[in-house]
């Protein structure tokens, strides 16, 4: 599954494993234009914060090829980059990746030179994400004891990253170190990333996984069936406030009530140090159809309004630790996050 984001340079194509069709069908969507990439991000052909960032970086390369068809290509390229950056609002990895590419673009660069630089950079973003996941896995695995059951939400695995995964990377690393781990994957209404994607990839990897309804979390915790909660993140503020898939906040509250450790696993590219706290992180609201329809069939009455926030904010005080490639950060997060960036070569 490390090949779910394939950049085919000779064909000028970005091939994305279509996550909307999983687990039933393994099909690829072939992006040739900026509009294709924007659409794939918006309709969640590719999703998960780090995977969005990697795809956006390759999207910038496609945008350069597209704009390059014009004699005056630079203004057009600027517009196309903005379109990619604005495809989805919450996961900061998207803006982070586009900004990182943009910063390398010098006014005097020829198109050929820019393409050379950007292809190398997009590959570097992908490689760095994989390496970060591996390091997070190694740090996080030490937190999980042999025989424990981990509850996770949404999909923070191979499919959501360049490969290996953040929260699920910790599970894979714990398994690789010889521990027997079981996972409860919350189904994650309404897009069902847990039931469809997390269950699919864990099952393929031979990790024992059980799907639970989102509404069962409290019962499972009360019965002692959950030892740790591990979730990913879409954006973390400088004080540790964390935005992740809708339902994560409720899970954190339940974990606190049941004295169960609640960990976030995310690379530093998911931390937005421009934001002192999480209150201003934009929470994407998605189509009401995701809630009113199941597999294309309407299940709710026509005309009733829907609240479909795709993300929520978990306050830092509910988080036991943030697993990063620079180690496990603890409260006070303002200090530990600043320290992690100080230890990281700047990009
Ligand atoms: O709407 P999605 O599927 O893109 O949301 C994804 C999540 O919320 C993940 O938990 C998060 O991006 C972490 S992925 C390593």
All domains of the chain, ordered by start, with CATH?
5-132 (1.20.120.420), 137-343 (3.40.50.10470)
| Residue 345: predicted pLDDT | 72
Separation of CA 106 and ligand 1 centre (Å): 33
**Torsion-angle region of 295 (φ positive above 0: left; ψ -120 to 50: alpha; else: beta):** left
| Residue 178: predicted pLDDT | 97
Told to judge if 234 belongs to the known catalytic residues of this protein, a careful annotator would answer yes
Rounded Cα distance between 333 and 164, Å, is: 26
| Residue 346: predicted pLDDT | 66
Please report the atom of ligand 1 found closest to the CA of residue 266.
15
Rounded Cα distance between 260 and 98, Å, is: 37
| Residue 172: predicted pLDDT | 98
Please report the atom of ligand 1 found closest to the CA of residue 154.
10
Residue closest by Cα to atom 15 of ligand 1: 156
| Residue 295: predicted pLDDT | 87
**Residue ranges in the chain whose pLDDT is less than 70:** 1-2, 346-347
| Model confidence, pTM | 0.96
| Residue 242: predicted pLDDT | 98
Rounded Cα distance between 330 and 316, Å, is: 10
Catalytic option among 129, 234, 272, 312: 234
Among the listed residues 229, 254, 234, 43, the one whose alpha carbon sits nearest the alpha carbon of residue 153? 229
Residue closest by Cα to atom 13 of ligand 1: 232
Among the listed residues 233, 41, 213, 56, the one whose alpha carbon sits nearest the alpha carbon of residue 155? 233
| Residue 2: predicted pLDDT | 66
| Residue 347: predicted pLDDT | 64
């Amino acid at each position: 599954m490390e090949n779910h984001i394939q950049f085919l340079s000779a064909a000028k194509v970005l091939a994305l494993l279509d996550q909307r069709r999983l687990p039933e069908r393994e099909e690829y969507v072939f992006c040739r234009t900026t509009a294709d990439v924007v659409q794939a991000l918006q309709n969640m052909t590719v999703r998960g914060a780090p995977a969005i960032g990697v795809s956006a970086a390759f999207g910038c390369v496609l945008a350069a090829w597209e704009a390059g068809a014009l004699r005056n290509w630079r203004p057009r390229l600027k517009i196309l980059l903005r379109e990619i950056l604005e495809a989805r609002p919450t996961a900061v990895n998207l803006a982070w990746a586009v900004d990182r590419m943009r910063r390398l673009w010098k006014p005097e660069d020829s198109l050929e030179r820019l393409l050379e630089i950007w292809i190398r950079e997009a590959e570097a973003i992908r490689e760095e994400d994989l390496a970060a996941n591996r390091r997070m896995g190694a740090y996080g695995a030490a937190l999980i004891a042999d025989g424990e059951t981990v509850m996770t939400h949404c999909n923070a695995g191979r499919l959501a990253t360049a490969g290996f995964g953040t929260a699920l990377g910790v599970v894979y690393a714990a398994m690789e170190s010889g521990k027997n781990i079981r996972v409860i994957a919350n189904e994650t209404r309404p897009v069902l990333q847990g039931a469809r994607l997390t269950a699919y990839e864990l099952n393929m990897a031979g990790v024992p996984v059980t799907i639970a309804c989102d509404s069962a979390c409290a019962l499972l915790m009360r019965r002692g069936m959950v030892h740790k909660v591990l979730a990913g993140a879409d954006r973390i503020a400088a004080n540790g406030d964390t935005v992740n898939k809708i339902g994560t906040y409720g899970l954190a509250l339940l974990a606190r009530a049941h004295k169960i450790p609640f960990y976030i696993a995310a690379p530093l590219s998911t931390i937005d140090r421009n934001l002192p706290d999480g209150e201003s992180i934009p929470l994407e609201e998605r189509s009401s159809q995701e809630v009113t329809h199941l597999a294309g069939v309407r299940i709710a009455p026509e005309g009733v309004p829907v609240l479909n926030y795709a993300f929520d904010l978990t306050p830092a005080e509910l988080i036991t630790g943030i697993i990063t490639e620079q180690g496990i950060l603890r409260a006070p997060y303002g200090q530990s996050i600043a320290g992690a960036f100080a230890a990281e070569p700047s990009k």
